[in-house]
A and B are shown apart, each in its own frame.
Chain A
């Protein structure tokens, strides 16, 4: 059975140099599409991938990643903003690695665009009134 999934991979600094994705393609025959790649403020590697392939191979590939010490989050994790709690302070704007928060230059309102969110979770502890919420 064929699958196509979006996942967020976070790997510790010691692994940033290892050819993990190459192994995924070569050993598990998974097709990948890099949606985002960056080094987070904690100096971790952050990679958002779309993976396509056979379900069995996909599962083995994920197992390989987990064993190697990669943290995997499925993009189905949903991040929402509790509009009642948001004080429009702006603290999240430069925290988010994908620019999901935009400042309206006229009103200085912070607009949250859920579409751009990759569920990295960085805004959760950075939001002073705890307005950003994770739903699984």
Chain B
């Protein structure tokens, strides 16, 4: 018999909701069978914790006296430039932003020790952050310079807004060339010396709801240690990719844009990241609850690492040149064993996203639901699905005639 989200919330209120993580549910469904499990289980919790580059935050710092119009001026937070194309007291900071004087890759591979992601982590940790801003001055906003400490508790709003997170599947990276390369997938040794991957696999949110039957716009989630919401489909949302018989995308597919109050979050779940030779970023923890409304939805949450395939891509050539060639197809079960066989060679693997932390997120969300601290929401709109025709398009360059 089908359940509704309202019924599940009623059970959460009375402390009777039955919740398992996406890892635990695999065994539960094996023992009880899908039919009975779907009847008994109310929610399955998922989790992922990895470097998510399209992350950022916006702030309203309050009006200074005399007033200054940051919009159209310049602003730096701990020397990291923030975006000032908004109104007088609003700033947006992207996780990849770098101080103007960072050496970047001048000495390759650059270290990228401090950037936007680190500023966000420090703000969340309650540390003071230095704002230096300049403006052009207007009759109503006469001031041209502002230097002040900011603390998250004094900001009117501090909102994490990530425009593409929680990728449903991702490339697996190797390097077929004969020199070491430094990529956003980590250091890749020559001649396929290692394999790097980045997904929580069976615990990852969108693998557990592959057709976005329950996760949609307005879904309440665990975000950075606080609660947040799915705001929209993420950029590059690409639901129409090839899938396995069980509906699991075999390559990068759906993504989520997420939003939440930074003031509730914790530096344990939002960690500034330095990616050698690549740049700065933010490691983000996300957990999404899946309401078990029927058997089909439960069936999808029983996905295991052995069911999930990913494409091995050469990051020395095919990736940068944007060629579709894949080197091999492997499962997450193989990747997590520590080595995979590709073209007859045993290659050691390393993760970029933390499975132990994903387990902890799913367990935390489970605890929040069981103790009545977290209620489920009905999505207000569905994400574009596999039949939507939505695809991610490459850039079609059109030369500008002089």
Pick from B180, B274, B337, B356: contact of A128, CB under 8 Å? B274
* Complex interface: chain A residues within 8 A of B272 (CB): 129
Structural contact, A128 and B273, CB atoms closer than 8 A: yes
**Interface residue? B370 (CB, 8 A):** no
Hey, what's the 0/1 contact readout for B350-366 against A, CB within 8 Å counting as 1? 11111111010000000
> B111 in the interface, Cβ–Cβ < 8 Å?
yes
CB-defined contacts of B355 to chain A, threshold 8 Å:
88, 90, 108
| Residue pair B190, A126 in contact (C-beta under 8 Å) | no
Is B348 in contact with A125, judged by CB distance below 8 angstroms? Answer: no
A130 to B283, CA, bound (A): 12
B24 to chain A, nearest CB (A): 14
Within 8 Å of chain B (Cβ to Cβ): is A98? Answer: no
Docked complex Cα distance between A125 and B54 (Å): 22
A94 lies within 8 A of chain B by Cβ: yes
A90 contacts B350, C-beta separation under 8 Å:
yes
What count of chain A residues pass the 8 Å CB interface test?
A: 23
Interface residues in B, total, Cβ within 8 A? 38
Query: Does B293 belong to the interface (CB within 8 Å)?
Result: no
Is A42 located at the chain interface by the 8 A CB criterion? yes
B357 engages A91 (CB within 8 Å):
no
**Inter-subunit contact B271/A94 (CB<8 Å):** no
What residues make up the interface of A, taking CB atoms closer than 8 Å to B? 41-43, 85, 87-95, 103, 105, 107-109, 125-126, 128-130
29 A/B residue pairs, CB under 8 Å, sorted by A? A41-B180, A41-B190, A41-B193, A43-B180, A87-B49, A87-B271, A87-B354, A88-B354, A89-B354, A90-B350, A90-B351, A90-B352, A91-B186, A91-B351, A93-B348, A94-B187, A94-B189, A94-B193, A94-B349, A105-B337, A105-B338, A108-B355, A125-B109, A125-B111, A128-B274, A128-B281, A128-B283, A129-B274, A130-B113
List 14 additional contacts besides A41-B180, A88-B356, A129-B283; criterion CB under 8 Å.
A41-B187, A41-B193, A88-B355, A89-B50, A89-B283, A89-B352, A89-B353, A90-B351, A91-B186, A91-B352, A94-B349, A105-B338, A128-B281, A129-B273
